[in-house]
Structure 1
Amino acid sequence: MKFGNWGLIKKNRSGVSLSLSLKKLIFEVVLVAIAAFIISMTIITERERRDYGVRDSDNVLKTLSSNISSDIEKYTSLSRLIMIESRVIDFLRAEVSAVSMGMINDARYGIMDILNSTEGVDSVMVIREDLIIVATNRFTYNYNTDLMNSEDWRREIYEGNGRAVVSLNSYGIAEKADGRPMVSIGRAINDIDTQKRTGLLMMNISTSVFENMLTRLGYNNICIMGTDGTFLAGNREYENYFGDEFLSEKIRHRNIRLGGKDVLLSGCRVNDLPIVILRVSPYGTAGIPFRMLYILLFLLVVFTLMAVFVAIFIRQNITDPIFELSGAMERNKRSGELKKIDVEVPYSELNMLEGDYNSMIDHVNELFDELVEKEKTLQKAEMRVLQEQIKPHFLYNSIETIGFMALDAGADKVHDALETLGSFYRNFLSKGDREIPLSREICIVKDYLSLQKLRYGDILEDEYDINEDTLNFVVPKLILQPMVENCIYHGIRLKGEKGTIKISAHLEDGELHLIVRDTGVGMDAELIEKIVTSRSNTYEQNSSSFGLWGTIERIRYYAGREDVVRISSEIGEFTEVEFIIPDMMHPGA
């Protein structure tokens, strides 16, 4: 790296301050911690509030389900007492002809004696197999005789085999005149002696039983529904939230909006009864783990204080010493001298940074010395190349004059040869440029080979395989002509037979691959190794090797790397030299 670029690098980086970056980072970390605390607090609070609401609803629904089941079981036991009441049994066993109004009244009185000590039973119907009915009604009922005569509604009761079957609204065979719903308990009645079915019993329970239960328990946020969607008791505002999801005995929960607030809707079926309980409960502060929140808040405060302490520590022990190092480096730069710095820093890591900078200064000084030596070597190589060429400007003008004289004398071939020679020197001079397009370099070689063919005749042939996309690639001037000259004098001519020089160029991975191949005498591996690996100018005294070595050194200098050449050869067959010029030589690179 050149020292002149150091100021540019510092300028490009000076827009970002390490101290400000660390402060910004710590501030962002604290903000993230606060945001995480708020989010965590919100999540924990909402989760605990919901969990508390779910637990509370579970307890209420389980308690209420148990109470309803107990009440239904109480009325089921009451129905058993009615089934074994003697006057009811006599009514069921009597022949049709023996059934009188007196027997019916006796059976009714027997039922009433049992019901007198119990509230909540609206009516009891005992129906014989021949559809003669004994009924005790506390309210006015309307009967559906057509439905009563059908078998459909009785089939479910008969399948219970004497077990109580709970349903709603007496399967539709009887309904209150005021339209209020009721819960019905139906049982098939079998004779206790013959076990023959003698009829069935239908007990209708008033929904006031459930209303009284809710009032007694203080539940004003409960709605009791039938599985068919019939409202039975409780808060009627909640009946619209009834759905099939609550037909399971497992308690279900979901959030709903009620009065602009989020509330918890819970519901389940009461065991195997056709009754569903819905409960709506608001989310309150109950269940919020305030102790946990206080602990989290305390940890946040501790974390914030630690972050502030870390920021102060970093500023005093890292950024300030770095600023001191940077100031020393800046003063070193302004002095214009590459010398080491000596700054007192508190930690070994910063001492390492200071040591690395001083090592870099030593290395840069070494690079300067090496660069100066390379420049001298390059200039000597270029001077040697130029010294070996005939290039005075007056010679080009003289050649042009002689060419016109030859043309006037009718010596066309001489004129053409002089034109070729003039073209060669025109491209050769190239206005003093060190780099030229590959197309002009090819023209120099073609002119040079045309002149050599005049000398050697048919012993020399040339071939070209140049890709179009390489013609504008900029290369160091006169890298091909010395190679071609080396092919002629130290390859083909020494072989003593006709030879071919082939020049190829193509792009690969953005790099120019320039190949010169001749069918001359070749060279052994030892000579190839010396040419490729030697970095001294010992070949200057050997004119047969200087052209190749000097060209390699020039390309290495311009490319800024060592691996720019590959040489392959076979004694008596060929020699192939391949130059790899990176894309940095291209004008658009």
Structure 2
Amino acid sequence: MWKKLIEKFKDLKIGTKIIVCYLIIAVISMSISTLIYQKINARIMTEKVSEMALQTLQTIDANLNLLIYTVNNESKILLSNQGIQEVLASGSEKFNYNNQMKVNRYLTEFIQSNMFISSVYIFDNYGNKFYVDKRTFQVFSIYDVMRSKWYDKLVEAKGGYIIKLTGKELYNKPNERYVSMMRIINDLDTQKPIGTMIINIPEDAIINSFKDIMKDGEAVIQLKDGNYNDIIHSNDLDQYNLDDNFKKLKTGEHFYSIKKVEGKDYITSYLRNSLNWTIVSIVPYQELSKQSNIYKVVLLAMFLFNGILSLSGLIFTSSSITRPIHKLIKSMKGVEKGTFIKVNIATGNDEIGELKNVYNTMIQKIENLIEEIVKEQKIKRKAELDVLQSQIKPHFLYNSFDAISSLALDNRSQEVYQIIKALGNFYRTSLNNGKEVITVEEEVQTVRNYLTIMQIRYDNLFTVDMDIDERVSKYKILKLVLQPLVENSIYHGIKPTGKKGRIFIGAYSKEAYIELIVSDDGIGMDEEKLKSLTKGGTPGIGLRGTIERLNIFYNGKSKFKIDSRLDAGTTVVIYIPIEEVEDYEQ
């Protein structure tokens, strides 16, 4: 159904399309705006309150857990101290001053390095007490610990810790609050109880653990233990009228409520954490008093949204009309530069669609004409290449027979045999079943056969060095590229000097090209002759024919460079592009 509607829309006139698009966008915009406006007032405050309350409680709980975790780790270090272990394990009913001083020294070092611990008390199994207290010394004994309500849980923990509010029950000080971490100390070797440890965490250390949460001193934090006794609280907490429903919370559960106190709105949040403590957070929520401002901002945002959406719709509609026209214009301008590209855009059966179809039909016909011309040019180029190739073969054959004739007149039959065999191998490779393309390796072997002929003919007039990169051996190139260059080095370079010379042949991979080098230390040429040669004024078939063949075969992509000095030799470098070779035999 949607596809049919889209197709019908494409067939509409341009003016009708603009009207339809604008009406659809306006209806959608107003509908969305109305829906958002209705929902935002009902949900934004609830979501904000819930999110802020939960984040505050979770942050406080995380900070408390970190504090307890740190104290727990520090207590493990203390109870595993070898000196304390030895004193507790060897305890007796008699007071031992040396043991007392030894343990107290360990405790002093421990408590000085832990600012969040106010005191540490350790008892051995005989009631001997070892302690360090930064504040007021607490008068109590191991028997007071054993008579407490939570002692059974301490024993059941088997070395694990329990945390209790101990001011009233242990120290008999109802108005003072001490959060104590207690654990049985076991012998590290036998795991039998050898003592009891009590570490007291002061109220200010707990407050400092979530100090950053108190915004400008207005936030109120309260902690209640499992019996709902205050661990910490503010003096003026009664005015906030806490909800007794927090006593029904289970571990991990939380809820919040919003109450007004002295004209201000407050979020009161409750969370029961893993220690069975209840965390109460009372935070002023000033954003509630700015509700009217929020509505104004929302209304303004809606107007802006509608305006932007409407503008976007008009721009889109205009673009859908002008974009294909611009593409048509761009393609038509490309024709001036010789670029023929069809316009590929989705259109219907409107005016633009008809214009696109007519233009693409014209481009297709032009491309067909160009393709026919290219084919004709390829045939012509192939014919030119065949003519040049046919000139090279008789030229080389003539020179070879000249060499064989000279050897035969000198009665050098063995060398005549060798040169004829090399000549046969040379033509076997060069003919290559009529194909014009061979591998670099085959081209090098053709040159070797040619050099065998020439070294016999001229009685080792020259030496040859080769450096062929194995990476280029399997690349295919036009055949008989190196041989004419080597022939020039012999006839026009070394032979005129009348003395023995050297020829170097190299093949390398240079980025996207195969680099072929033929160099000799022959007679060379002067600057004027070199300049004439590089401009195409070279006589003879060898170098000129090679350059012309490469230009035809590789569509002008091949390059060459000639470097020569009089009496210092000549170097010819040819660069052949590494690419898929076109089959010219088709």
Q: What range describes the TM-score normalised by the shorter chain of this pair?
A: 0.3 to 0.5
Q: Which of these two proteins has the greater Rg computed from alpha carbons?
A: 1
TM-score between both structures, scaled by the size of structure 2 = 0.46
Q: TM-score, normalised by structure 1?
A: 0.46
